[in-house]
Structure 1
């Protein structure tokens, strides 16, 4: 006889098509695969891309606009444009992140399992072309004209490339999901020459371990890097909360 108590079924949750479209566009924006000031395709073009109606696309864009991720502009050079979420993150996500900090800790815990193991596999499987791309990301992050937004984009590209180099598509998908969750928190971090130097140092250390085909060092360095990021984000949020409390 069927015994419901022995199963852990989840209730059905119908996701509207517009939500499905919104989630994909939001992920691409948060992962900075679509950069700030990039113009999105027209509603008609998006409808063709997603095989959906223009009304459905319009609903998805409206949701993104309400989140402050895009804006519609009129005029000769009008259209729908991506907003610089890194520059505006402190206005939009700090309170939300603090409210959901317990959940964020779970994400970081998951990250300390997934990304280091991805680096371990990448050390054995990474190609010469992928190593060249990683080196290029580090060099670009140190260029004088590197903006805050582009710096954050290069950081995402660096980590996603290592996940891809692992050769495991499930691991790559997991890292994309993790980065989508934590990027709003990472975007709260300050941006200055010291941050760039620290980032260059640890990314170079990871790159050298990958070049040496040293899976253990690649894993350990990535794990240390991730732990430092989690601590830095927490310190940033707590110090901001304390500062605001003192001001009141």
Structure 2
């Protein structure tokens, strides 16, 4: 008698060690955990960190260089350095996002479920230390000389910290995955003082209701915040916009 399995199994696909190294470094760069002009450890040190061969590390670095995420420099101050994601974002992502908008819409739909619920739980469980950390991120983001890449990094930290404050590791992992997917689209957005203030105002309002332990309002504010971000991305991808026109980021 045949056995019928209720689920679909995925076919096995071979994966090299270099693929795992590439994916971890790519994620760290996309999430702004590694910022532009930061220098990566050398191949030998990376091989030790990943418990892999130098050849696997070299292959991963070559892929990152092809993607325009890192740059190898020679000379006395040479090494491998992180490049600004926004440097090539207009070339890498706009057409790709437009061509695959159906899948992007599903990511936004998923985000609209996950992050508001994480914010609701965070309002109930967040510690005073975590609230202070969020405040520090926001204070840094509104400094007059805050550069674009640092601002984007602080934005990611703010959202990931709220997910972590939910006290549920599954929410934290989900938000990390979401941000890895949507950050390339957010890097398409222009940057100006007005954009920075508008985005920070939204974050300050969210921080206020987290301080008040108001789960319902935290959920609603986060929902509104990410709806605005999704709409801004859609406009940026599909409408012709002057280079200096401002849209919200987050």
**TM-score range relative to shorter protein:** over 0.9
Distance in 1, matches of 2:240 and 2:140, equals: 30
Q: Deviations over 1:75-122 (max 9, x none)?
A: 000000000112431222111111111111110100001100100110
Report the secondary structure of 1:240's partner residue.
coil
Structure 1, unaligned runs of 5 or more: 244-248
Q: Does 1:200 align with 2:200?
A: yes
Match of 1:110 in 2: 110
Match of 1:156 in 2: 156
Once superposed, what is the RMSD of the aligned Cα atoms?
A: 1.5
Give the structure with the larger helix fraction.
Answer: 1
Distance in 2, matches of 1:197 and 1:241, equals: 21
The 1:4/1:12 distance shift into structure 2, 3 A limit, reads: farther
Match of 2:168 in 1: 168
Distance in 1, matches of 2:73 and 2:6, equals: 54
Report the secondary structure of 2:201's partner residue.
helix
Match of 1:23 in 2: 23
Q: Deviations over 1:22-75 (max 9, x none)?
A: 000000000000101000010000000000000000000001100000010000
Structure 2, unaligned runs of 5 or more: 244-250
Distance in 2, matches of 1:64 and 1:242, equals: 31
User: How many matched pairs?
Assistant: 243
Q: Deviations over 1:205-237 (max 9, x none)?
A: 110010000001001100000000000010111
Pairwise CA distance, 1:241:
8.2
- 1:24-39 superposed matches below 5 A: 24-39=24-39
Q: Deviations over 1:128-163 (max 9, x none)?
A: 111111111111111111111111111101001101
Pairwise CA distance, 1:5:
6.5
Pairwise CA distance, 1:3:
3.6
- 1:92-131 superposed matches below 5 A: 92-131=92-131
Question: What TM-score, normalized by structure 2, do the two folds share?
Answer: 0.94
Question: What TM-score, normalized by structure 1, do the two folds share?
Answer: 0.94
Q: Runs of 4+ in structure 1 displaced over 6 angstroms?
A: none
